[in-house]
């Protein structure tokens, strides 16, 4: 399944994150890897915050400095930021393999940095700015691909 939306505010992007969470839950999907793609400051963490809120988790912040933030709501959410990660050893240190095979959702920002180490059948969320002038400052095009759900 593929979903495309244009959002016009941080709130709308969070709402779309919530919508993805509800869609997965309604379809009894309780474990998946979600790769958040898009350049710096585009809204990957904002989308993740909305996603987590659906499961009763509030206050999701960027794991830029911590690499991994662990959250437990109705499901577990393992929120990674791979921005500073480049090799398998660094991932092993935080228990990456065990986490992605375990329960709950793994949400990974900057997973482009660890492309070789991603599992099969990942959900991708790609966010891009629509334009760079002031009028379009808060606009984002968001494409969600969910390979495990039929169109």
Ligand X SMILES: Nc1ncnc2c1ncn2[C@@H]1O[C@H](COP(=O)(O)OP(=O)(O)OP(=O)(O)O)[C@@H](O)[C@H]1O
Q: If DSSP states are collapsed to H, E and C, what string results for the chain?
A: CEEEEEECCHHHHHHHHHHHHHHHHHCCCCEEEEEEECCCCCCHHHHHHHHHHHCCCCCCCCCCCCCEEEEECCCEEEEEECCCCCCHHHHHHCCHHHHHHCCEEEEEECHHHHHHHCCCCCEEEEEEECCCCHHHCCCEEEEEECCCCCC
Does position 106 bind Mg ion by CB under 5 A?
A: no
Please report whether residue 79 would count as binding ligand X according to CB under 6 A.
Answer: no
In the complex, minimum distance from the CB of residue 8 to ligand X, in angstroms, rounded to a whole number: 6
- The single residue among 31, 113, 126, 138 that binds ligand X, judged by CB under 6 A, is 138
**42: contact with ligand X by CB under 6 A:** yes
10 binds, among Mg ion, ligand X, none (CB under 5 to 8 A by kind): ligand X
What residues line the site for ligand X (CB under 6 A)? 7-10, 12-13, 38, 40-46, 62, 109, 138, 140
């Amino acid at each position: 399944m593929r979903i495309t939306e244009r959002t016009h505010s941080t709130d709308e992007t969070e709402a779309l994150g919530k919508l993805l969470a509800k869609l997965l839950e309604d379809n009894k999907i309780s474990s998946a890897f979600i790769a958040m793609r898009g350049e710096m400051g585009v809204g990957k963490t904002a989308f993740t915050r909305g996603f987590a809120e659906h499961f009763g988790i509030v206050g999701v912040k960027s794991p830029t400095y911590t690499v991994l933030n662990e959250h437990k709501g109705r499901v577990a959410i393992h929120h990674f930021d791979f921005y500073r990660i480049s090799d398998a050893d660094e991932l092993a240190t935080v228990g990456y393999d065990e986490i992605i095979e375990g329960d709950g959702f793994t949400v990974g920002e900057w997973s482009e940095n660890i492309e070789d180490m991603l599992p099969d059948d990942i959900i991708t969320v790609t966010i891009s700015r629509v334009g760079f002038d002031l009028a379009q400052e808060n606009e984002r095009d968001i494409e969600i691909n969910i390979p495990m759900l039929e169109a």
